[in-house]
Structure 1
Amino acid sequence: MATKQDIFIEKVKDGAIAGWYAGKILPSVTIAQACLESGWGISELATKANNLFGIKAKDDWKGESYTVRTAEYDKNNKQFFINAAFRKYDSWKESLIDHAKFFHEGWREAHYSTHGVIGQTDYKKACRGLQNAGYATSKIYADQLMGLIEMYKLYKYDDVIKESEVKGMKI
């Protein structure tokens, strides 16, 4: 019998694989971020705003937003709470597509490329790159992502990408 985690992964995996071709973000990392950031699709942001990744609606965002109380961490890893506006989407698919595009918007492309996130084929390096680039304020963000990738064997979706590129195929 499939668990809620298996069902969630099944729902987002195709969008995560498509994200590799749209923005060169590893599927395993995309899926792990969606799991962690959305609480397996049941967070308030995931259910009310279809935002699987906790992507905030900064000044450059032209779409709708949804404001929610969220935890942040200071430089000493002390938790505090703020009200923040997050991007709002019509569907999870739209959230998955925007996730891949997010890393290529304006200054972010050079920033995330420099930190080894865009185009990275090693999920551990990509996870560390996300943390070092400041994607999340948690000091254990990379470890959390890697733990999910390993526990649920999400790296198998990276293997699909690598195999298709070796054969010269596109999914």
Structure 2
Amino acid sequence: MPRDTGKAGNVNESLVPASVAEHPGCVLLKLGQVAFRLTEQRLGELGLRTRHYTLLKVLAADGPLSQLELGRRTRIDATTIVATVDDLEKAGLATRTRDKADRRRWSVALTDDGSATAGRADALIERLGREMFTDLSTTQSRDLADLLGALNTGTALAGLLDGLRG
């Protein structure tokens, strides 16, 4: 249902129509699409996409990893991982070298520029988060983070996704 903002001629409609919003999965899907578009736009200021940011963050947290392990941890398919690492390498944000223990495997590591860029991207994402969650109280924001964290670390969604791939 439309909600009036109180300004003449300025009516905002809900992101999801009420008849669809009764299904939390549909609301989550639409909000995810909106968050993705906004994230892509913000990260674009640094020449990044969300998948680039994801790899930068994983590499910053966990150190050098094989492309296979990056794909497994981020649930990004092998073809996309290769293309994304190619992008990061061309931008000077990551390096790819043969794994000394297994010459068939590539090891990916952040460069100093990659670490610095991850930090700048974090600041953009933090600012976007504050803007996106302005309508929530501090308690609601914390509760939402807890709920999303539980979904993220739970087994149900991962199992459903893995079932699609199997």
Greater relative contact order (Cα < 8 A, sep 6+): 1
> Which protein is richer in helix relative to its size?
2
Instruction: Please tell me whether Structure 1 or Structure 2 has the larger radius of gyration of its CA atoms.
Output: 2
TM-score (norm: length of structure 1): 0.30
